[in-house]
Amino acid sequence: MAFDSVLGHERIRALLSRAIAGGRVPHALLFAGPEGVGKRTLALAFASALLCDQRGPAGPCGACRHCTRVARSLSGLDELRAGAEKGYRGPDDAALYDFRLHPDLVLVEPPARGRRPEILSAQADDIARETFKAPFEARARAFVIDDAHALCAGTTVTAANALLKSLEEPPGHTHFVLVTSQPQSLLPTIRSRCQTLAFGALPTAGLVEKLRGEGMSESEARLRAALCGGSLGAARAFDEDAWRGAREGLVSLLEAGPRLDPAGRLKAAEMLKELDDVRSGLGTLRTLLRDVAVIHAGAGTSLLLNPDLTPRLQAMAAGPLGPRAAGLAQAAAEARDALAGYAHEQLTLDVFVERFAAQPVLS
C-alpha cells in the first residue's frame, strides 16, 4: 500500500514521506476533508509505513512481515466487521470495533448502528490502555481512528475526553491518525493536539482516468466524476438507475417550484426526506440548479452536467427560476453540508424548500 497508490493529494503524500525520512513524525495527525477522497487509505498506508522494516520515500515496502500482515488483515476486514457485529450486545462491547490489523496497528471504527455512528467509551478506554504499551513486534505503534468526529456524536463527550488523555503525552513510539470529514465536530482540545492535514476533492480528470482504469466506459466515468463531488468512494458506489429515478422527481420539483403553495412546500420537504440518500439527493439537486444557472448565463450546453435534460432545463432557465438558480444551488450545497454536521434533517429541508419556493421563513 505505497503512498503513490492513493489517487491525488500529492502535497500531503510528499509531507508524509519527508516526515518519515527525517524522523520527525508528529505523535498525532488529523486527516480532514470530504468523504471518499482517500483519507483513510492514506492513513493506513502511513500507519503501515511507521511499522515497516524497509520503509522508504514511497511509504511501506509492502513485502516485509509487518506489511504483509497488515495487508492480510485489511483483505479480511469485512469478516472482522461481521464478527464484531455478531458479538456486539451493547455499549460495553464496542471495543470489538477496535480492529487489530497487526499487534501494533489498530483501526478504530464506530459500531455500525443507527444513522449517526458513535465511537463509544469502551473503545476510547481500550485505546487508552494500549497507548503506553511498548511495541510488540514493530518499531512503533499506530492507531487509525476512522470517522473520528463520531467521538463527539453522543449526548456526552466521554469517549472524546478519554482519547484526549491518550493524546496529551503519548510515548515517542505511539502515533495517532484521526480521519474525519467533519473536523468542526471534534473538541477544540483534540484538534489542538493534532497536526491537521487538509484534503480536498479529487480532480475530475483524475477521477475519470481512475474509473476508466477500473473498466468503466468514458461516458459512465465522466457522469460519475461530475456528480460525485470529487469523491472516488462515492463515484464507485454510484447507482445510475437509482440516481435517474431520484433525479426525475427533483426535476419535477424544480418545474413546480414557482407554483408551490404552503401544502405543496410541506410535500416537497417530505419528498426530499424520503430519498434513499438525502445528502446525495441535495447534491443532484445542486447539479440541476447549476445547469439552469449555466443556461441562464448564456453559456453553452456543452458545460451541462445533465445534457439529456437540456430542453427542460432551458425552459426553467427562461422562467422565474433562471435568475435565482445560482443562489439556490449554493443553498442546496449548504443544506447538504449542514446535514453532514448533524443538523436537524426536517428543519434543514423545510428551510431550503421555503427559500426555493421564494417564501421567506421570517417576515
Share of the chain above pLDDT 70, in %: 94
What is the mean predicted confidence (pLDDT) over 176-184?
92
Residues 194 and 249 in one domain: no
360 pLDDT band (50/70/90 cuts)? very low
Cell triple for residue 45?
498506508
pTM for this prediction: 0.75
Can you give the CATH number for the domain in which 330 is found?
1.20.272
Residues 178 and 244 in one domain: no
Can you give the CATH number for the domain in which 181 is found?
3.40.50.300
Q: What is the pLDDT of residue 155?
A: 53
DSSP code at position 228: T
Closest CA to 268 of 283, 285, 286, 250: 250
DSSP string, 34-86: -TTSSHHHHHHHHHHHHH-TT-BTTB--S-SHHHHHHHHHHHTHHHHHHHHHH
Q: Does 215 reside within a domain?
A: no
The 10s digit of each residue's pLDDT in 303-331 is 888 888 999 999 999 998 999 999 999 99
Closest CA to 41 of 219, 210, 216, 160: 210
Residues 292 and 185 in one domain: no
Is residue 170 within 8 A of residue 142, CB to CB? The reply is no
Domain containing 34 equals 3-198
Residues 285 and 151 in one domain: no
Q: What is the pLDDT of residue 231?
A: 84
At 218, is the secondary structure helix, strand, or coil? Answer: helix
At 350, is the secondary structure helix, strand, or coil? Answer: helix
pLDDT surpasses 80 at 362: no
Q: Does 362 reside within a domain?
A: no
The number of folded domains in the chain is 2
Is residue 355 within 8 A of residue 328, CB to CB? The reply is yes
Closest CA to 25 of 55, 5, 62: 55
Q: What is the pLDDT of residue 184?
A: 86
